[in-house]
Structure 1
Amino acid sequence: MVSTFPHSSSVNLSSVRLEIRKLEPQLIEWRRRIHQRPELGFQEKITAEFITQKLQNWGIEHQTGIAETGIVAIIKGEKPGVEKVLAIRADMDALPVQELNEVPYCSQHDGVMHACGHDGHTAIALGTAYHLQHHRQDFSGTVKIIFQPAEEGPGGAKPMIEAGVLKNPEVEAIIGLHLWNGLDLGTIGVRSGAFMAAVDFFNCTILGKGGHGALPHQTIDSVVVAAQIVNALQTIVARNVNPLDSAVVTIGELHAGTRMNVIADTARMSGSIRYFNIDLADFFKQRIEQIIAGICQSHGANYDLEYVNLYPPVINDGKIAELVRTVAEEVVETPLGIIPECQIMGSEDMSFFLQEVPGCYFFLGSANHEKKLDYPHHHPRFDFDETALAMGVEIFVRCVEKFFSQS
């Protein structure tokens, strides 16, 4: 079978083995089918049914209904050697975004879109499962492929771990990838240590006293209080965090008032906090409340604060990151190559898996500027160069073979 889909002129797939290159039309077909039927977190029933059907057709042992819609496939190698267990993780969920792409595979579900590449992740994981199942003689251990729901929120990794996906047999290491339009097609972003940031969020309601806009002395203006809080929160990173520790405090929502001449009695704000240093988790929670409490007290206002530590930072194990890097060097070619210190403030619940077992999460570049496939993630016109799919399968397969060949 010869691929009928065009490749980027800047990427040579000669390093991708023939069997996987022949699989490319199927990878694209699977990805597009999933793209047309996007589902939000813990609602991925159509996607899970599609995955299950493929695994059944290929004779792959699997479990379904884990953390509602999650799936774990188990593939046992036949090559003699040391018995180890490696997990591969892929997320399945979409976003509440109305797609604006004019493509044949556009979302058929109004207001829901695969705007982050999870459809590609699922297709890559399926391709990896297919190849490994038909080449069990090439590796000696056991591979668990984890199809995870709800990465975009509220988080499917933790409930899958609690359901035992890393046990029976016990996983010794885990890898995962994210197609990334922040990198050109064929570029690999990988590093040991902190790779993606932790994310917390908070919701705060300022409780003032409303009144007439002409009589402010009779009120406690929640808008004024909220405005001072927004400004003061920006000093946390600027003046309370070590300049060598990257961190971001963002106020994404601020709602107050109903009319121009009415002083609002309440103001509601929501924000997110991102950082790499896990030791800052309690600090941010305490400092944000100190600032809110102090400003409210100075104005005679009250407040109601909800603070949630959502995802911890993604911390890659040095040994597994080196494994991925060496494999990536065999697959990608110059001048694209490897971005060795790739790091972003975005967050991922892959972090929960990496807290349990050593592993590595990495970026596979998927942007093609010539084809206008370079919109950012979560954009209603997000799409990626599907040439990356075969490269993702090749990297996963080589990681499996190399991991089990090491003593």
Structure 2
Amino acid sequence: MEQLNPFTKIRRDLHRIPETGFQEIKTQQYLLDYIYSLPQERIEIETWETGIFVKIKGTNPRKTIGYRADIDGLPIVEETDLPYVSEHLDRMHACGHDFHMSIALGVLTHFVHTEINDNLLFIFQPAEEGPGGAEPMLKAAPMERWKPDMIMALHIAPEYPVGTIAIKEGLLFANTSELFIDMKGKGGHAAYPHETNDMVVAACTLVSQLQTIVSRNVNPLDSAVITIGKITGGTVQNIIAENARLEGTIRTLNAESMAKVKMRIEQLVKGMEISYQCQTAIDYGCMYYQVQNERQLTNEFIEFAEKDDDINVYHCREAMTGEDFGYMLKEIPGFMFWLGVDSDYGLHSARLNPNEKAIERAIAFLTRYLTYKGSQ
């Protein structure tokens, strides 16, 4: 029978029960059951919605170091043949949050049993994939009471081998926003188009116009992405569509570009109302602030990691991915890094299968780093 590292077993248990944002009932209970099984003398536990705060009291605290792990899954039907496949048929931990939780529990467990000078605050955050848990969690009473002086987090990276940390100072992840545009015109018989205002034609025209924003309204030395991933409209083939809906995403490398892109989208949509005599509505849905790694703390972390014999450090570039940890870094100095997990399939893939050897390696490295940082 396979002998599993206890935190690999935890990862598999969590992988079986993925839940989406603010629905992480089973996940929260699993985490609480484990945390309450540990010695309680030096820890304090508070819940918020489906999230958890765990404070470990330092022996001679001068600061509090925060560590955040996200806990939600995605609405994806899993397509792996793993023996611990998701038991929730339309949910999957396809972004590695099961790894994030098990690593955080491993580090937490170490410091429950091993004293450290400074306080540690472990934050198990819901709803990272949406609608966003970081920003409201910052306003939670436990966070106001135990607010860290610095904070850190990791995200698995399928493209890097186990034992690799990828990081950079400054911008790591982009500003992101969802985009939903509803259009309402006048439907009718396919044989009488002149008596209608066709929203399929309007939607197709708008998609083409939206693609001019990046090429003609964003500085070529900057970067932005507008992707329309879904169009719905109409009912059957011989009725001209009265309604259409576009769904997409916006990504920019700075907050100013995001504001400019949105302004231009609104101008183009307003123009569609005039051109196609229709009504429109725009919803930006879930919006995430950029992940901006604080320079000094990031470089200190890089310097420590480069001296560690078990870790390879890769100086990566910024990515157009989004992460609501950016809201925490906006308020608290700190950093996020990529953790190599060596998977043939990428993030949000129904076949994602990270290498579990990364769990034990990450726990060991992070306990070394926090021991060092918590004794400075």
Question: Normalising by the residue count of structure 2, what TM-score does the alignment of the two structures yield?
Answer: 0.94
* Contact 1:323–1:399 (8 Å) recurs in 2: no
Q: CA deviation at 1:238?
A: 0.8
The equivalent of 1:345 in structure 2 is: 320
Query: Does 2:10 align with 1:30?
Result: yes
Q: CA deviation at 1:40?
A: 1.8
* Contact 1:327–1:398 (8 Å) recurs in 2: no
Q: What are the equivalent positions in structure 2 for 1:75-94 lying under 5 Å apart?
A: 75-78=56-59, 83-94=62-73
Query: Does 2:19 align with 1:39?
Result: yes
Q: Which among 112, 121, 125 is matched to residue 133 of structure 1?
A: 112
1:198-219 deviations in Å (ceiling 9; x for gaps):
1112211222222222222222
The equivalent of 1:326 in structure 2 is: 303
- The one-letter amino acid of 1:321's match is T
The equivalent of 1:16 in structure 2 is: none
CA distance in 2, matches of 1:386, 1:327: 24
The equivalent of 2:94 in structure 1 is: 115
The equivalent of 1:11 in structure 2 is: none
Q: 1:161 to 1:288 in 2, by over 3 A?
A: same
CA distance in 1, matches of 2:254, 2:31: 37
The equivalent of 1:389 in structure 2 is: 359
1:293-349 deviations in Å (ceiling 9; x for gaps):
113312322212223461111111011211321233244658xx3221332111111
Q: 1:124 to 1:209 in 2, by over 3 A?
A: same
3-state DSSP of counterpart to 1:321:
helix
- The one-letter amino acid of 2:28's match is A
The equivalent of 1:64 in structure 2 is: 46
* Contact 1:62–1:71 (8 Å) recurs in 2: no
- Unpaired runs of 5+ in structure 1? 6-23, 368-372
CA distance in 2, matches of 1:198, 1:190: 18
* Contact 1:201–1:307 (8 Å) recurs in 2: yes
- Size of the aligned set, in residue pairs, is 374
CA distance in 2, matches of 1:42, 1:327: 36
Q: CA deviation at 1:403?
A: 2.1
Q: What are the equivalent positions in structure 2 for 1:244-393 lying under 5 Å apart?
A: 244-308=221-285, 310-331=287-308, 337-367=312-342, 373-393=343-363
The equivalent of 1:55 in structure 2 is: 35
Query: Does 2:201 align with 1:224?
Result: yes
Q: CA deviation at 1:110?
A: 1.9
CA distance in 1, matches of 2:102, 2:199: 49
Q: CA deviation at 1:401?
A: 2.2
* Contact 1:237–1:249 (8 Å) recurs in 2: yes
1:70-99 deviations in Å (ceiling 9; x for gaps):
111111233x5x611100000111111121
* Contact 1:85–1:141 (8 Å) recurs in 2: yes
Query: Does 2:134 align with 1:157?
Result: yes
- Unpaired runs of 5+ in structure 2? none
* Contact 1:184–1:366 (8 Å) recurs in 2: yes
3-state DSSP of counterpart to 1:166:
helix
The equivalent of 1:10 in structure 2 is: none
3-state DSSP of counterpart to 2:138:
helix
* Contact 1:331–1:391 (8 Å) recurs in 2: no
Question: Normalising by the residue count of structure 1, what TM-score does the alignment of the two structures yield?
Answer: 0.87
CA distance in 2, matches of 1:38, 1:375: 19
CA distance in 2, matches of 1:241, 1:215: 40
3-state DSSP of counterpart to 2:52:
strand
CA distance in 2, matches of 1:295, 1:184: 48
3-state DSSP of counterpart to 2:186:
coil
Q: 1:332 to 1:256 in 2, by over 3 A?
A: farther
* Contact 1:327–1:395 (8 Å) recurs in 2: no
- The one-letter amino acid of 1:217's match is H
1:267-307 deviations in Å (ceiling 9; x for gaps):
11112101121112322221101011113312322212223
Q: CA deviation at 1:255?
A: 0.8
The equivalent of 1:9 in structure 2 is: none
3-state DSSP of counterpart to 1:345:
coil
The equivalent of 1:73 in structure 2 is: 54
Identity, % of aligned pairs?
38
3-state DSSP of counterpart to 1:167:
helix
Q: Which moved more, 1:381-390 or 1:277-286?
A: 277-286
CA distance in 2, matches of 1:213, 1:197: 43
3-state DSSP of counterpart to 2:159:
strand
Q: Which moved more, 1:298-307 or 1:146-155?
A: 298-307
* Contact 2:130–2:286 (8 Å) recurs in 1: no
CA distance in 2, matches of 1:388, 1:259: 51
The equivalent of 1:100 in structure 2 is: 79
Query: Does 2:165 align with 1:188?
Result: yes
* Contact 1:196–1:344 (8 Å) recurs in 2: yes
Q: What are the equivalent positions in structure 2 for 1:170-189 lying under 5 Å apart?
A: 170-189=147-166
CA distance in 2, matches of 1:70, 1:214: 56
* Contact 2:10–2:102 (8 Å) recurs in 1: yes
CA distance in 2, matches of 1:357, 1:279: 21
